[in-house]
Structure formats: structure tokens, C-alpha cells
């Protein structure tokens, strides 16, 4: 997403001119160039504070000079340094996250090259996913948190308690998974299977397959060759 040569560069410059109806933000959006957009997308992908040194290692870019000042002035990125010649550390602001969401949608570019067209399709698909699942970019790019299996089970129980309307109520895994504080999918699935084997929880398929959504299919945990969509947890 950050290697924007040739036609793709033209696409990205075109892409940031999202609409003529952005109100007070439109003028600032038009001032963003290829380097600014690349910086925003890299910070979005990393979703945390990151130094120029690490930025260059993982993406080949740095946020320096006029690019940094412009992003700071527009309050899209916060930049700081510990002292003296220490590298700048950057993080997206809430306004920066909002700007990245704006950049997901644009008219199909006319002369962008294959990579530019592909990027346009990917960004549009991401925007549709966010709208369908009522999520924001922070939820998608939030870093995975490494926690112990006991902590994962605690988060599962807490999420279940928030969703269950009464004891032993069936809860959809599609509703439960987003409440697990960034626990890795494989860790959650492993704990759910452990809880099922120990009968601390019961997992079953939804018998009405016609009502299953894409989110239900994505959240299902497979046990015994069968996808399970619902959970009830023993107290």
C-alpha cells in the first residue's frame, strides 16, 4: 500500500480528492499528497506509536520535514521525540483515523494502472465491511494482544455475561468475539474447545442455517467436523 510508483502514484493523488462535499475538511484533504497518504496508511496498519526508525524498517518510509509538519498542522498525526537527536515517534490522532476512513471511498480512477485499480477495489471492500459490521478502522487494525489462556477464558466469561439476558442464555459467537480485547483467534478457539471438552461451556450450531450471516460464519468455531455458532457458559 505504500509502494506507489508510476500509475499508482497518480491514483493515490486522485484518490485523496474524495468528494467536493466534505465541508471544512475538503480543502485540507486536497492538500494531502502521495507521501502524506502513505504515512497515514502505514500508521493505520501498525495502529500504535512508532518511531521513524521502525517505520523505515517495516515500510521504507519516514515521516520527516514538510510531510511531518503538514500532518501535525492538520492534526492528523502527533509526533514527538524524547530528546536531542532521538528519532521522531508518530501516532495517528482520532482525526487521522477519520481521514483514513474518508480515503477508503472514491470514484473509480481513470488512469491508475493495475495496482491502483486493485488498491481501489481493496479499499472499497474494506469500507463495505466496516459499514456492514458497524465497525471503525481502529477495531480492524487494533494490534493482537498476547494474553494467557486463563485470561482469555476470563474475557470470554465477561463478554458472555454482558450479552446473556439470563443465566444459561444462548449467545452468538459473532456477538461475543468482538468483546474479547484483541485476543488472537487461535487462542480464543483453543480456549472455547477446552471449555467445551471440560463442559464449562456448550457450543452448538444454529439450527436455522437460513438466518446465518457472514459474521456468524466467520465467528464459528469448528468442533467434531461441525461449525458451531452459539455458546452457553456454565456458571
Residue pLDDT, tens place only, 82-121: 767 788 899 999 999 999 999 888 666 566 678 878 888 8
Does the pTM of the predicted model rise above 0.75? no
**CA distances (Å), 37 to each of 29, 53, 111, 174, 209, in order?**
10, 19, 19, 33, 42
Residue 72's SS3 state is helix
Question: pLDDT at residue 60 above 60?
Answer: yes
Domain with residues 7-141, CATH architecture: Orthogonal Bundle (1.10)
Bridge-based pairing state of the strands 77-80 and 201-204: unpaired
Residue 18: band (very low, low, confident or very high) from pLDDT cuts 50, 70, 90: very low
**Grid cell locating 26:** 475538503
Domain ranges of the chain: 7-141, 149-233
Question: What pLDDT is recorded for position 114?
Answer: 83
Distance CA(26)–CA(87), nearest Å, equals 31
Distance CA(53)–CA(61), nearest Å, equals 9
Amino acid at each position: 500500500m505504500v509502494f506507489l510508483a508510476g500509475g499508482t502514484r497518480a491514483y493515490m493523488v486522485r484518490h485523496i480528492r474524495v468528494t467536493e462535499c466534505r465541508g471544512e475538511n475538503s480543502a485540507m484533504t486536497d492538500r494531502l499528497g502521495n507521501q502524506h497518504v502513505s504515512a497515514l496508511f502505514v500508521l493505520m496498519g501498525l495502529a500504535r506509536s512508532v518511531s521513524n526508525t521502525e517505520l523505515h524498517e517495516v515500510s521504507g518510509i519516514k515521516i520527516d520535514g514538510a510531510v511531518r509538519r503538514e500532518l501535525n498542522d492538520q492534526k492528523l498525526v502527533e509526533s514527538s521525540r524524547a530528546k536531542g537527536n532521538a528519532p521522531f515517534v508518530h501516532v495517528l490522532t482520532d482525526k487521522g483515523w477519520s481521514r483514513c476512513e474518508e480515503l477508503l471511498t472514491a470514484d473509480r480512477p481513470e488512469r491508475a494502472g493495475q495496482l491502483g485499480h486493485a488498491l481501489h477495489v481493496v479499499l472499497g471492500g474494506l469500507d463495505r465491511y466496516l459499514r456492514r459490521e458497524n465497525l471503525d478502522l481502529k477495531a480492524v487494525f487494533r494490534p493482537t494482544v498476547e494474553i494467557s489462556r486463563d485470561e482469555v477464558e476470563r474475557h470470554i466469561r465477561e463478554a458472555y455475561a454482558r450479552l446473556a439476558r439470563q443465566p444459561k442464555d444462548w449467545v452468538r459467537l459473532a456477538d461475543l468475539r468482538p468483546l474479547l480485547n484483541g485476543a488472537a483467534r487461535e487462542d480464543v478457539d483453543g480456549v472455547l474447545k477446552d471449555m467445551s471438552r471440560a463442559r464449562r461451556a456448550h457450543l452448538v450450531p444454529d439450527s436455522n442455517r437460513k438466518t446465518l450471516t457472514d459474521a456468524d460464519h466467520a465467528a464459528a468455531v469448528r468442533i467434531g467436523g461441525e461449525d458451531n455458532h452459539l455458546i452457553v457458559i456454565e456458571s
